[in-house]
Structure 1
Amino acid sequence: MRFFSHLGLLLATVLLAGCGLLTKPTATATGQPNFELQIHARPKEAQDLLAAHLELNRYRELEGLRRQELTRLISVADTDIRKLLATLGYFAPTVELELHNPPRDSSDLPVVRIEVDAGEQATVTAVDVQVTSPQDGEKAGSWQRQAVQRNWPLEVGQPFSQDAWAGAKAEGLRSLQAQRYPTAQLLTSRADIDADTQQAALQAHYATGPLVRFGPLEIEGGQRYDAAGVTRAARLPVGQEYRQSTLLDVQQRMAATGLYDSVFLTLQTEQMPEGQAEVQVPVLAQVREAPLQKWVYGVGLSTDTGPRLSIDHTHNRVPGLGWQAQSKLQLNRKNPLLSTRLYSLPDDSGWNWFTSAELERAELADYQANSIALSAGRGKNEDKIDRQYFLRYDLANPQGDDAPPKSSAISANYSWTGRYFNNPTNPTRGYGLAFELGVGTTLTPQRTPFTRALGRWQYFQPMGERDAATKRRSRLALRAQAGAVTARKGADIPLTLLFLSGGDTTVRGYSYQSIGARTDNAQRIGGRYMLAGSVEWQRPIVLAGNRNDWEHTVFMDAGSVSDEPAQGMQVFVGAGSGIRWNSPVGPLQADLAYGFKTQKIRLHLRLGFTF
């Protein structure tokens, strides 16, 4: 038994030793360099490339690296250097590699010295770009195919590099696939380099494939909501030539309905028939539906209205009607309100029906007013322009001593808003323009015809050179607003249709809606005529090392409200300075403004940009 025990122990020892022989030792990084690497290359782009990507760098901290292995690595480094430089267009560099080994008993590290003169960069001397299509000879798309050849990015006389070559090929393909030819391909490409003369001759051959037109929209993943209604709202131009931008617009319109949490559109090119010069291809919309109902709770703070609590409710399919509904309860110190808005999906023309109701208790200058506003009409929201025409009923019941009488009115209205900013949430250039026009009559306490007009304008103009520290430009922000209600003198217009000014978005330096007209007993009240304007200079600054998100502003605002178009219009002026922070949800504004009429300084806080 003892023999077998010893034999088993011997076999186990042999097997363990064999396993050790079968396992290849792996070198691991020690964190300590094995050799010193010195790279001196001209020009600077060659130096940066070799320092970042030279294969030899990977072995500097490799555990157990022997001198003979280092010698072998140096022998293949020449090839690696030449391959890297070729990507920049240097095909005949001069490369010198030296290894300096210290004495074996020295603690000094071996030194690998690399001297590189990249030489002359190759230049493009010939470009041959061909675009073939089943529609050759046809006018449709011929200019686009010619534009690929005419606008080829890598022109004769330009330096050659792999990045520029790959970018030019990709740009040519993108220009074809963006319109008419989504299945275009790069068939062949070739770059012939003469290393002796540093010349590059380029060839690229594209095939457009068939001209594609939009087919019908197919919705996948939708069960709860009206697919036919969404299709109308999407307004896919069936039969028109394919454009990538059109597909993105359709996707945006579907997402804007609020019925989906996600929308992804693809052209069903795998269903295309073969051998045709022109085809119509269906579009597949893969959607994930939003919940039938959604509640959103919010808190906020404004120097105009104080702390705010809001509850928003969305119902995406009102029972019995099929419309969507958005309701809101807002609680704050100055204007608590309850509102609801019902609206249909847009039709084929993009217009939809809507109706709304709003109950509000508002602080209007020296009076409190309970008000009701009801409206119904049609609207159209496009990428940059919103339009509405509607009937509106207003009822205002002022509260307080010597308050005006309770009054009501009905009016027909049209509104138009155009937004042409470079960024909808934090613009730095562009403009916005809006106007509203209403014609109606008061109903109580007596009937009197009236008109109401309101216009708004905002403009951002970049100025000067880019700042040396932030690499951003300053800008001038201009804002103007004007409104007028015309009716016979003494007519009781509902207070909610009159104008007030002052506050964060009108005339800073004055409290919210503190600029108004005066009654016979010197009470402040909304006026029939209003003017307001602002000039603001915004410049980038560096704050706490952040170069991208902070700005400093100086501004001057002015405004006036009166019951007479020219007489008795007092101009209220405010001026000050502030800070802007580009937060993830829009600009956060903090301004200190001095009101010249009140001779007081006020703090104004505001989050987000709206027009």
Structure 2
Amino acid sequence: MAAVKLQIEGLSGELQRNVRAHLSTIKDDEVAANARFKRRVRTGIEDGLKALGYFDPEIRFELIPRSAPLRSLLVAHVNPGEPVRIKAINIELIGEARQDPAFTELLTTTPKIGSILNQGDFDTFRSRLRSLALERGYFKADLKVSQLKVATGLHEAFWNIQFDSGRRYRFGEVTFTGSQIRENRLQGLIPFKVGEPYLAATLAQFNQNLSETNWYRNIVIDPQFAKVGENMELPLFVTVTPRAPNNVELGLGFATDIGVRTSMRWRKPWVNALGHSMETLVRYSQPEQSVEFGYRIPTKESPLQKFYTLTTAYNAENHNDTNEQSLSASVGAFWNVSSGWQRNLTMNVSYSRFEQGLQEHDTFLLYPGVQFARTRSRGGLMPYWGDSEVFSINYANTAWLSDIDMLQLQARSTWIRTYASKHRFVARAEAGWLESSDFDKVPPSLRFFAGGDRSIRGYKYKSISPVDSEGKLTGASRMATGSLEYQYNFTGNWWGAMFYDTGYATNKFIPEDLKSGVGMGVRWASPLGPVRFDIAHPLAKGSSGVEIYIALGPEL
């Protein structure tokens, strides 16, 4: 260790930080009181101050001896002096960028006349000029003049920039190769028209559109600059590699009350040259089994934003006081809007045979449904930020052959926010409302129950509900649940969790019916998605024991 320690006096704020940055390469064992080291320090101080507009500092060194074990101090007393201020800014745009509003806006971001010179501002502005030119298709732009003149005696600085943007490129014809989907079905994915001014963001949107179809494994968009003519239209050559025709996903979960839960999702991202796709989902646990089949038909003009679906499903449940078998089918039309919301209108038909407590019925329903949904996330499979909202309305009426009149409203929202990288919060809320002409004939799958790992933890799956005269669950016409969870990243991909869940399923909101549960758990951000392990305890009077939940899958 050197016998001398370096200390800088007289500076504060940004000046102090920048000088320290310029001196940061000096190691402790290099500090000395000799003339050579002082010259090195002086140069670092001057460079750090010049960058921020101070070209004439006064620097005085003082050596302060101190007895061992303390090291002597070499103090650099700095007076930054009078700053250099910007006297004039001359920026000349040549070419089509003169009429481009984006460049006009960029010119308003220059420093004010009379402000202290910051050489970083000059460098940043030049960089932004070049970047903006590339983003907006001025590929032959040239920074012809780039001068920052400083009159140190007058403490004045002058910007002088001449930027020739040249002509702006425009989008040309798009040619696809390697696609298993008909080219006329791909035109609706192109977010621009031939002749429109080039924008890098629009080209990125084109790539994203192709990716979101799930038709392709690889996508390469190659601009053909050599084929640009006098009209400045830039042809695009798109090479795609089809995705595998079959994709299988497996799911696994566990809860103490229902045991092991498994699922298998088989997707065919494309089944023909029209871009149709289909999906089969099989779920199995001891109390519930289901098979769902879906077929998706994208429209030619807008495959991602508008499409139709055909679905069929078989569901069976034998759990608590519910025994139900049902067959259902639906036809749906979906619209994705620019705000990220997906709207869909469906016509549903279902036949259910069930026993719920003392009730036993067969019910046929024909009912339209409307749903609004949106999911946003950042951060991959275990997002650090995200939210998901779903709002739905289903309506059945005996006028169109349904056995009962029924109106069902549901809303669900989940929010994820992370602070200071290690503190993650997950909030969830769900509500439902059901009106019917004969509640006894409403299938259990359309009634409301609470309890379980996606509802109120600490209680058995679907165990919260009104009961009949024999104490058997009947399901509810009203439901509201909420959850707040805090997660802490204690190491790598591992998080600890604490949570509080509350809510009820009832026919009439009574405060005494409220059920709550608390618990803790562990989260692992695995390559397949978050793995959750929870232990929860009920807080309701007369309740005891714990419930254990293990699950793999997305939170949104």
Question: TM tier, shorter chain?
Answer: 0.7 to 0.9
* Aligned position for 2:69: none
Q: Distance in 2 between matches of 1:598 and 1:333?
A: 27
Q: Distance in 1 between matches of 2:270 and 2:18?
A: 63
Q: Does 1:254 align with 2:192?
A: no
* Aligned position for 1:226: 182
* Aligned position for 2:482: 534
* Aligned position for 1:52: 24
SS for the counterpart of 2:309 is strand
- What is the one-letter code of the residue matched to 1:534? G
Equivalent residue for 2:260, pick from 279, 302, 307: 307
Contact 2:459–2:517 at 8 Å: present in 1 too?
no
Q: 1:192 to 1:424 in 2, by over 3 A?
A: same
Q: 1:316 to 1:581 in 2, by over 3 A?
A: closer
Contact 1:185–1:208 at 8 Å: present in 2 too?
yes
* Aligned position for 1:572: 514
TM-score by length of 2: 0.77
Equivalent residue for 1:337, pick from 290, 298, 304: 290
Residue 247 of structure 1 and its aligned partner are, at CA, apart by 2.8
Residue 351 of structure 1 and its aligned partner are, at CA, apart by 1.0
* Aligned position for 1:25: none
Q: Does 1:583 align with 2:525?
A: yes
* Aligned position for 1:108: none
Q: Does 1:600 align with 2:544?
A: yes
Equivalent residue for 1:131, pick from 93, 103, 106: 93
Residue 518 of structure 1 and its aligned partner are, at CA, apart by 3.8
Query: How well do the aligned residues superpose, as a CA RMSD in angstroms?
Result: 4.7
Contact 2:425–2:487 at 8 Å: present in 1 too?
no
1:435-483 Cα distance to aligned partner (Å, 9 max, x none): 2223345799x84253433231537598xxx99xx59889794624223
Q: Does 1:193 align with 2:137?
A: no
Q: Distance in 1 between matches of 2:92 and 2:547?
A: 64
Residue 213 of structure 1 and its aligned partner are, at CA, apart by 4.2
Q: 1:552 to 1:293 in 2, by over 3 A?
A: closer
Q: Does 1:479 align with 2:451?
A: no
Q: 1:183 to 1:550 in 2, by over 3 A?
A: farther
Residue 150 of structure 1 and its aligned partner are, at CA, apart by 1.0
Residue 432 of structure 1 and its aligned partner are, at CA, apart by 4.8
Q: Does 1:412 align with 2:368?
A: yes
Contact 1:130–1:206 at 8 Å: present in 2 too?
yes
* Aligned position for 1:499: 448
Residue 97 of structure 1 and its aligned partner are, at CA, apart by 9.0
Q: Does 1:458 align with 2:413?
A: yes
* Aligned position for 1:560: 505
Equivalent residue for 2:438, pick from 468, 489, 492: 489
Q: Which runs of 5+ in 1 are unaligned?
A: 1-32, 61-69, 100-110
Equivalent residue for 2:325, pick from 367, 370, 377: 370
Equivalent residue for 1:144, pick from 99, 102, 114: 102
Q: Which runs of 5+ in 2 are unaligned?
A: 64-71
- What is the one-letter code of the residue matched to 1:188? V
Contact 2:351–2:363 at 8 Å: present in 1 too?
yes
1:84-95 to 2 correspondences below 5 Å = 86-87=50-51, 89-93=53-57
Q: Distance in 1 between matches of 2:247 and 2:554?
A: 25
Contact 2:432–2:448 at 8 Å: present in 1 too?
no
Q: Distance in 2 between matches of 1:290 and 1:229?
A: 17
- What is the one-letter code of the residue matched to 1:119? P
- What is the one-letter code of the residue matched to 2:317? A
Q: Distance in 2 between matches of 1:449 and 1:216?
A: 56
Residue 184 of structure 1 and its aligned partner are, at CA, apart by 5.0
1:139-288 to 2 correspondences below 5 Å = 141=100, 143-152=101-110, 154-156=111-113, 159-175=116-132, 177-179=134-136, 186-196=143-153, 198-220=155-177, 222-265=178-221, 267-269=223-225, 271-274=227-230, 279-288=232-241
SS for the counterpart of 1:574 is strand
Contact 1:367–1:403 at 8 Å: present in 2 too?
no
1:69-110 Cα distance to aligned partner (Å, 9 max, x none): x999998887677556645555445568999xxxxxxxxxxx
1:23-62 to 2 correspondences below 5 Å = 39-41=6-8, 43=11, 44-46=16-18, 48-53=20-25
Residue 252 of structure 1 and its aligned partner are, at CA, apart by 1.9
Q: 1:422 to 1:255 in 2, by over 3 A?
A: closer
Q: 1:144 to 1:122 in 2, by over 3 A?
A: same
Residue 149 of structure 1 and its aligned partner are, at CA, apart by 0.9
TM-score by length of 1: 0.71
Q: Pick which of 470-479 and 330-339 moved more.
A: 470-479
SS for the counterpart of 2:93 is strand
Equivalent residue for 1:119, pick from 68, 80, 83: 80
Q: Does 1:290 align with 2:247?
A: no
- What is the one-letter code of the residue matched to 1:594? P
- What is the one-letter code of the residue matched to 1:204? I
1:503-518 to 2 correspondences below 5 Å = 503-518=452-467
Residue 394 of structure 1 and its aligned partner are, at CA, apart by 1.9
- What is the one-letter code of the residue matched to 2:540? F
Q: 1:405 to 1:450 in 2, by over 3 A?
A: same
Q: Pick which of 347-356 and 574-583 moved more.
A: 574-583
SS for the counterpart of 2:298 is coil
* Aligned position for 2:348: 392
* Aligned position for 1:438: 394
Q: Distance in 2 between matches of 1:46 and 1:36?
A: 26
SS for the counterpart of 1:525 is coil
Residue 241 of structure 1 and its aligned partner are, at CA, apart by 4.1
1:117-139 Cα distance to aligned partner (Å, 9 max, x none): 47356554433333333374x6x
SS for the counterpart of 2:391 is strand
Contact 1:503–1:512 at 8 Å: present in 2 too?
yes
Residue 389 of structure 1 and its aligned partner are, at CA, apart by 2.0
Q: Distance in 2 between matches of 1:262 and 1:325?
A: 21
In our comparison, the structure showing a higher alpha carbon Rg is 1
* Aligned position for 2:68: none
- What is the one-letter code of the residue matched to 1:133? G
Q: 1:240 to 1:258 in 2, by over 3 A?
A: same
SS for the counterpart of 1:511 is coil
Q: 1:212 to 1:199 in 2, by over 3 A?
A: same
Contact 1:214–1:241 at 8 Å: present in 2 too?
yes
- What is the one-letter code of the residue matched to 1:228? N
Q: Distance in 2 between matches of 1:451 and 1:400?
A: 18
Residue 594 of structure 1 and its aligned partner are, at CA, apart by 2.8
Residue 576 of structure 1 and its aligned partner are, at CA, apart by 3.0
Q: 1:59 to 1:519 in 2, by over 3 A?
A: closer
